[in-house]
């Protein structure tokens, strides 16, 4: 599988973060589009050559940094950021 990287990562340039949100790390920016695509932690781990536990940690950090409470909310935020 190839790595999925957004052309302009959230938190930079075209994809501004919500007010008060913290910038995402490069690895979190790798995880977010896959999360938004509805992939499970195991599927994300396989795609990015990570352990599922590491992915779970990244997902938790993404949710905290974006100020959202669920994967669905993070996916919605990502989808809106691409539309802007």
pLDDT per position as a tens digit, 1-37: 444 444 444 444 455 666 556 789 999 999 999 999 9
Domain count within the chain? 1
Residue 57 maps to a domain: yes
Q: Which domain holds residue 69?
A: 26-83
Who wins on pLDDT, 33 or 83?
33
Task: 59-66: list long-range contacts, CB under 8 Å, 24+ apart.
Answer: 59/31, 59/35, 61/25, 61/28, 62/24, 62/28, 62/31, 62/32, 62/35, 64/22, 65/17, 65/21, 65/22, 65/23, 65/24, 65/28, 66/17, 66/18, 66/21
Task: Evaluate if pTM is beyond 0.85.
Answer: no
Residue 15 maps to a domain: no
Residue 21 maps to a domain: no
């Amino acid at each position: 599988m190839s790595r999925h990287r957004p052309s302009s990562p959230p938190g930079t340039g075209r994809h501004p973060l919500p007010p008060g949100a913290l910038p995402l790390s490069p690895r979190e920016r790798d995880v977010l589009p896959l999360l938004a695509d509805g992939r499970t932690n195991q599927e994300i781990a396989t795609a990015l050559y990570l352990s599922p536990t590491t992915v779970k940690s990244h997902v938790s950090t993404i949710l905290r940094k974006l100020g959202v409470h669920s994967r669905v909310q993070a996916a919605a935020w990502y989808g809106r950021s691409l539309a802007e």
